[in-house]
Chain A
Amino acid sequence: MKVKKKTVGLFIYLMLLLLPIYWMLNMSLRSNADILASFALYPKGITFMNYMKIFTDSSWYMGYVNSMIFVTINTIISLFVALPAAYAFSRYRFLGDKHMFFWLLTNRMAPTAVFALPFFQLYSTIGLLDTHIAVALAHCLFNVPLAVWILEGFMSGVPREIDETAFIDGYSFPRFFITIFIPLIRAGVGVTAFFCFMFSWVELLLARTLTVTNAKPIGAIMTRTISASGLDYGLLAAAGILTIIPGMMVIWFVRNYLAKGFAMGRV
């Protein structure tokens, strides 16, 4: 009986969670005039006009492409540098390790609002303004510390005997790390990639500040729907729905790593 109650509660929560999303979907399938004219629980005459506009206008769909590019670069850089560092933090004691770890975390705590301006100056000085790599690098500020933090947790769950055995068997460090260790924590790598993707995908302030046209993210482009006649709710809703889809694809891809049990403790 108890299990039943739990499931019902969960079901209600999921429904409530989807409600605002459903409402946005509803709006995206109606024209703006229709939205403002009448209140409707579901779209009466479905129109794909809003979506058509986004898919046929390059200034719209390039926003998605730009976002995808810098998010991917950021995720790769973050994982690449964070994996060895997380290993160092989980296995070794070294001079200033605790301070270093906390300093890394403090970078997540900086109010981006004011750091936006120095970032702009910095990247225009080195000539990277309005490139995907600039945004990817800027997002490393908060994603690399997070990646180190999460990965360190996973790595600490792997008994050190595994490392010792491998070294006794004559594995070199890089070979051990790539062929034995990383596969052991692949769930952790999947989860970390998801978080890097997520935080880079949703961040707007830095991405908007560092781009002009070539690398403009979709979030910044969406602000254009505020025209002279007010908000175009239909178009905004359609753009919003489309921003959710890449993320859903990523979570679908890593769902097994998340769900199958983080077998770390059982190795």
Chain B
Amino acid sequence: MEKWENNKAWFLVLPVFVIVAFSAIIPLMTVVNYSLQDIWGPGQSVFVGIEWFEEMLANKRLHDALWRQFLFSGLVLLIEMPLGILIALAMPKRGWGAAACLVTIAIPLLVPWNTIGTIWIIFTRPDIGLFGAAVNKFIAFDHTARPLDAWITLMLMEVWHWTPLVALLAYAGLRAIPEAYYQAAKIDGASDWATFWYIQLPKMRGVLTIAFLLRFMDSFLIYAEPFVLTGGGPGNSTTFLSIYLVKIALLQFDLGPGGAFSLIYFVIVISFSFIFYQALQRVGKGEQV
């Protein structure tokens, strides 16, 4: 759709700009300020330039946390996107069934993030948890002792928690497809697969882009759930970037390195989101022909 050229549209955007800038630019500048100084008390600091950045970029534990984070986000996207689409396709189109499905599926999304961790502690504890007790009947499973078990538990929690978001968005996209498209497909004798590939998937492009980016950002920034469930352990096996960052910035109170770390972190998230955004836009353009 060709858009109107009009710079007065800025007036409509202005309130958003003001409210977001207030909460974004001032704190961001404060973080930049931290990252360039060595702070050891109120009013006591010295300018150190990019020293913290150099230190952080060479930090071995940060590298480990970063790879862990990529693995985690990669797995999350790989599992949740297809699963969410499948669920959306299986959901009833209308009636009380649709409403009941929507309400049920949305439940995990509405649980505060620290409660998510709590639910899964209760659920997976070998002594009092349903999952923990059931699995332990067959094999020893303890997410506090073995890294692999911790990862499995975390992935289960993550998939349980966030697949509904993908499903809801995909479902919304599916509902926006006019009935006429399906009738046309039926007349042409298109298979279910062809209908999905040539009609449903392209039509869901917009919402799936949103879902993909949201899932990438939020899984990359994940903090509260693994913090409550595993505390980053056993060892460092589930210490993701945010957990390591909080350890440096809020627990050890190293504001300089913490500030540098969070800016590097921020840049990584933005770069990847930008690449994904561009790529997904392009994929869509190819399909529209």
A residues apposed to B, CB below 8 Å? 2, 6-7, 9-10, 13-14, 16-21, 23-24, 27, 35-36, 39, 41, 77, 80-82, 84-85, 87-89, 91-95, 97, 100, 102, 104-119, 121-122, 137-138, 140-141, 144-145, 148-150, 153, 156-157, 160, 191, 198, 201-205, 217-219, 222-223, 233, 236-237, 239-240, 243-244, 246-248, 250-252, 255-256, 258-266
Contacts and interface: CB of A to CB of B under 8 A. Distances in A.
Shortest 10 CB-CB contacts between residues of A and residues of B: A247-B110, A118-B27, A118-B30, A92-B9, A88-B12, A114-B262, A88-B9, A84-B12, A85-B16, A81-B15
Given A94-B5, A251-B106, A256-B99, A111 B13 contact: no
A109 B277 CA distance: 13
A165 to B, nearest CB: 15
Given A94-B7, A109-B269, A255-B99, A23 B122 contact: yes
Nearest to B3: A93
Interface of B: 1, 3-10, 12-13, 15-17, 19-20, 22-24, 26-28, 30-31, 86-87, 89-91, 94, 98-99, 101-115, 118-120, 122-123, 127-131, 133, 160, 164, 168, 171-172, 175-178, 192, 206-207, 210, 213-214, 217, 221, 223-224, 241-242, 245-246, 249-250, 255, 258-259, 261-262, 265-266, 269-270, 273-274, 277
19 contacts: A10-B91, A23-B119, A82-B16, A94-B7, A104-B16, A106-B270, A118-B28, A118-B31, A137-B23, A141-B20, A141-B23, A203-B113, A204-B114, A204-B224, A219-B112, A258-B175, A259-B94, A261-B94, A261-B176
A29 to B, nearest CB: 13
B112 A218 contact: yes
B118 A81 contact: no
Contact of A160 (B1, B206, B262): B1
Nearest to A245: B110
B193 to A, nearest CB: 12
B interface SS class: helix
Contacts of A14: 101, 104-105
Question: Quick one: which of B27, B258, B259 has the most chain A CB within 10 A?
Answer: B27
